[in-house]
Amino acid sequence: MTSAIVASELRKAYKDKVVLDGIDFEVRAGTVFSLLGPNGAGKTTTVNVLTTLMRADGGTVRVAGHDIATEAKAVRAAIGVTGQFAAVDELLTGQENLQLMADLNRAVTGNGERIVAELLERFELTAAAGKPASTYSGGMRRKLDLAMTLVGKPQIIFLDEPTTGLDPRSRRTMWSIVQDLVADGVTVFLTTQYLEEADQLADRIAVLDRGRLVAQGTADELKRQIPGTHVRLRFTTAAELDEAARAFPEATRDDEALALRVPGDGGTKSLRALLDRLDEHSLNAEECSVHTPDLDDVFLALTGHTTEADQK
Partner 1 sequence: MKSHSLVMLRRNFKHLTRNPTSVFNAVLMPIIIMLMFVYMFGDAFDVGVDYIDYATPGLILLAVCYGLGGTATAVNSDMTKGIINRFKVMDVSRGAVLTGHVVASVLTNVIAIAALVGVAYLLGFSPAASLTDWLGVAGVVVLLAVAAGWFTVALGLSAKSPETAGMAAVPLVMLPFFSSAIVPAEKMGPGLRQFAEYQPFTPIIETMRGLLNGAPDTTDAVVAAAWCVAIALVGYLWARSTFTKRA
**Interaction of residue 228 with partner 1, rule CB under 8 A:** no
Selected binder of partner 1 within 73, 172, 224, 312 (CB under 8 A) = 73
- How near is the Cβ of 163 to partner 1 at its closest, in Å? 16
**Interaction of residue 79 with partner 1, rule CB under 8 A:** yes
As beta bridge partners, residue 289 has 232
Task: Please work out the total of residues on this chain that contact partner 1, with binding judged by CB under 8 A.
Answer: 33
- How near is the Cβ of 130 to partner 1 at its closest, in Å? 13
**Interaction of residue 95 with partner 1, rule CB under 8 A:** no
As beta bridge partners, residue 5 has 27, 63
- CA 156 to CA 188: how far, in whole Å? 6
Stretch that binds partner 1, among 75-83, 123-131, 203-211, 248-256 (CB under 8 A): 75-83
Nearest Cα neighbor of 142 from 87, 195, 186, 96 is 87
Stretch that binds partner 1, among 17-25, 33-41, 74-82, 123-131 (CB under 8 A): 74-82
**Interaction of residue 187 with partner 1, rule CB under 8 A:** no
**Interaction of residue 42 with partner 1, rule CB under 8 A:** no
**Interaction of residue 89 with partner 1, rule CB under 8 A:** yes
SS3 132: strand
Selected binder of partner 1 within 2, 16, 17, 106 (CB under 8 A) = 106
- Pairing mode of beta strands 187-192, 156-160: parallel
Alpha helices in 126-257 (DSSP H): 138-150, 168-183, 195-201, 219-225, 238-247
SS3 161: coil
Selected binder of partner 1 within 53, 271, 288, 302 (CB under 8 A) = 53
SS3 184: coil
Nearest Cα neighbor of 18 from 52, 53, 59, 70 is 59
**Interaction of residue 91 with partner 1, rule CB under 8 A:** yes
Q: Where are the beta strands (DSSP E) in the chain?
A: 3-14, 17-28, 32-36, 58-63, 66-67, 79-82, 156-160, 187-192, 204-209, 212-217, 230-234, 252-254, 259-263, 287-291
Amino acid letter, 12: K
**Interaction of residue 68 with partner 1, rule CB under 8 A:** no
Residue 80 or 211 having the CB closest to partner 1: 80
As beta bridge partners, residue 159 has 82, 190
Selected binder of partner 1 within 58, 70, 104, 238 (CB under 8 A) = 104
- How near is the Cβ of 181 to partner 1 at its closest, in Å? 17
Residue 73 or 172 having the CB closest to partner 1: 73
Which positions lie near partner 1, rule CB under 8 A? Answer: 48, 51-54, 73, 76-77, 79-81, 83-92, 96, 100-101, 103-106, 108-109, 132, 148, 152
